[in-house]
Every structure is written in structure tokens, then in C-alpha cells.
Amino acid sequence: MRIAKPLLLIATPLGVIGGLREAWRFSPGLAFLMFALLSLLSTAFAIVVKTIRDEKRAETAKLATEGSQAPDQPDQH
């Protein structure tokens, strides 16, 4: 995974850019549609990630406040 992750982070955007370039050479309208689809999917993915992070942050804050407001229980020895 140490080699694969950086390789994917470099190769994927280069492949997308190359695909858009070839689509532009073939048909500019096709390239526009591909760009629109990529933009839509990227935006949807970003919204999902933001929602997950916001929910996790809210849950963590809720647990932290519940833990700090818990009543002290007497020792039962």
C-alpha cells in the first residue's frame, strides 16, 4: 500500500486529464459532457464526505458533553 497509494494519486488525475483531452480531439461536446459528469460526481462525493464528517463530529461532541455531565456514582465497595 505504500507504493500503490501515491501511484493512484498521481495516475488517476493524469488519466482523467488525458481522457478529457482525447474526448476534446474527438468531439468538443463529448468533452464538455464528460467534464460535467465528472464535476457532478465529484460534488456529490464531496457532499457525502462532508456529511459523514459533520455527523461524526456532532456524535463526538454529544458523547463528550454526556460524559462530562454524568452524575457521580458512589463507590460500592
Residue-wise pLDDT for 7-66, tens only, equals 888 999 999 999 999 999 999 999 999 999 999 999 999 999 999 999 999 999 998 888
Q: What is the DSSP string of 21-36?
A: HHHHHH-HHHHHHHHH
Distance of alpha carbon 56 from alpha carbon 72, whole angstroms: 27
Distance of alpha carbon 15 from alpha carbon 21, whole angstroms: 10
pLDDT at site 58: 94
**Domain coordinates in residue numbering, the chain:** 4-66
Q: What is the pLDDT of residues 53-63, one digit of tens each?
A: 999 999 999 98
- pTM of this prediction exceeds 0.85: no
Can you say how many angstroms the Cα of residue 41 is from the centroid of all Cα atoms in its chain?
Answer: 11
Give the residue from 51, 11, 15 showing the smallest Cα distance to 34.
15
Residue that is written with C-alpha cell 455531565 in the block: 69
Q: What is the pLDDT of residues 65-76, one digit of tens each?
A: 887 775 656 666
